[in-house]
Amino acid sequence: MSYSLEGKVVVVSGASMGVGRATAQRFARDGATVVLLARRKLLLDEVAETIGVNAVPIVTDVTCSADVCAAFEQVAAQFGRVDVLVNSAGASRIRLIEEASDDDIAVTVNTNLVAAIYTTRAAIPLRGAGGGDIINISSEITLDDMPLMTLYAATKHGLSGFTKAMNKELRRDSIRVTLLILGAVADTGIHENFGPGDLERAWPIWEADGYLTRMSGTRLLTPPMVADVLYDVVGRPRELMTDVIHVRPASS
């Protein structure tokens, strides 16, 4: 598909690693100015260095309303618009719900759902001429239950509902809102969400349940693969809407 992002302003949350990092790099390679949002300055600066002059790193806790407002105020002052918003920040906890602490609940709900609401709210008034695109990253966990991952599932279901509502509400403004449902992705840094022994406890339970083979299988997507899908979504003719895309490895 022939399409250029030259001159476009793309905001990516969760841009310091995984899908967010790969997406920022992919879009910048095609000429977009990429605004990188993430909490950790060191990682953010590393990504910006790989991109070069097209990168605008802004240290932002996307679960904090004040941080998000400040980031988008900087975008408004510097560029005056947002053409594409990719919400890829995510967090998860391996817990039975009765084991979840207040912090577990707050981190998961705020990162996976509230953050996307904050960034979307801030981006809408800055839509570029002709509309724009908002893409929210979800998970196959919304299609099948995964033991010990209730918090993650609940927030991703919430993101699905939010995306569907925004798709309808923003169509009048020529803003396309897409939900991207992903199978398991390698090199996302998700292991940083888990405590000592969490995976060792969960893995045999997941295998016994059959979730791993029912859904993604044994192979993993890579962040650059996902970034190419995101690029394809944005590059579709403006008269086309892509409401939901489900991407996973072609074979186990």
pTM of the prediction?
Answer: 0.93
Whose CA is closest to 20, among 3, 1, 35, 5?
35
Mean pLDDT confidence for 29-54: 96
Q: Which run of H or E residues covers position 209?
A: helix 198-209
What integer pLDDT is reported at residue 3 of this predicted model? 73
Residue with tokens 């990162």: 111
Mean pLDDT confidence for 20-26: 96
Catalytic site includes residue 118: no
% the chain with pLDDT above 70: 96
pLDDT of residue 129 exceeding 80? no
% the chain with pLDDT above 90: 77
What integer pLDDT is reported at residue 252 of this predicted model? 56
What integer pLDDT is reported at residue 216 of this predicted model? 63
Q: Are 59 and 38 in contact (CB under 8 A)?
A: yes
Whose CA is closest to 180, among 133, 213, 146?
133
The whole-chain average pLDDT of the chain stands at 92
Whose CA is closest to 59, among 87, 39, 42?
39
What integer pLDDT is reported at residue 249 of this predicted model? 85
What integer pLDDT is reported at residue 193 of this predicted model? 76
pLDDT band with cut points at 50, 70 and 90 for residue 2: low
What integer pLDDT is reported at residue 217 of this predicted model? 64
What integer pLDDT is reported at residue 251 of this predicted model? 66
pLDDT of residue 145 exceeding 90? no
Angle at 243 between CA 86 and CA 106, to 5 degrees: 50
CA dist 36 → 150, 161, 199 (Å): 29, 25, 30
Pick the catalytic residue from 3, 118, 152, 211: 152
Q: What share of the chain is helix, strand, coil (3-state, %, to 5)?
A: 50, 20, 30
Pick 216 or 198 by higher pLDDT: 198
Mean pLDDT confidence for 56-83: 97
